[in-house]
Amino acid sequence: MQISPNKVISISYRLTLDNGELADEATAEHPLMFIHGIGQTLEAFDDKLHGLETGAEFQFSLTPDEGYGTSSPEMVIDISRSIFNGPEVPKDLLELGNMVPMQDQDGRPMNGIVLAVDDQNVRMDFNHPLADQNLHFTGTIISIREATDEEKDHGHVHGPGGHHHH
Ligand SMILES: [Zn+2]
């Protein structure tokens, strides 16, 4: 069986950056499982795996345009410190370098990295942590199967290695 859209793929992989730093990995014991061709991973990542068979090894690099984009100064934003004053807010939330889960105006989740804090404002960087990076992937195709109708419907993998909800 070859990888094509709506197949459930299980892979082990390593993602490294230009400086050799390991940015992410999935081992054969705890592989990454996803449905191919539906936007669960980067589109260019899906494209590079297309047509590979079980057991195949892969090695490719993605540019920032194919990956997580280029960083933009407009994504560094000063936010009023007052919104972090609730009783439920952990004391160490605003430590420099922390990644804080936030929402945009439309309620979509975004992560902000704390760059600076003063009495009035918290400066946060909402650029993707892997923006501006070339992404170097190596890995192995562990298994390929058809997605079930329910998985296609939900847009994610069920069963071992997948979602366990409902
Ligand atoms: Zn589901």
Buried b (16+ CB within 10 A) or exposed e, 73-83: eeebeebeeee
Residue 158: what pLDDT?
Answer: 93
Centroid of ligand 1 to alpha carbon of 19 (angstroms) = 38
Centroid of ligand 1 to alpha carbon of 102 (angstroms) = 24
Amino acid letter for position 76? V
Whether 32 contacts 25, CB under 8 Å: no
Centroid of ligand 1 to alpha carbon of 71 (angstroms) = 33
- Run means of pLDDT, 10 residues per run, the chain, 166 residues: 96 98 96 95 97 98 97 95 86 92 87 94 94 98 96 91 71
Alpha helices of the chain — where are they, by DSSP H? 43-49, 149-154
Q: Does domain 7-68+132-154 correspond to CATH entry 1.20.1260.10?
A: no
Domain spans of the chain, in order of start: 7-68+132-154, 73-125
For 73-125, CATH gives 2.40.10.330
Residue 166: what pLDDT?
Answer: 61
- Cβ neighbours of 144 (radius 10 Å): 21
Centroid of ligand 1 to alpha carbon of 144 (angstroms) = 19
Phi, psi of 96 (to 5 degrees): -60, 135
Q: Is the pTM of this model over 0.85?
A: no
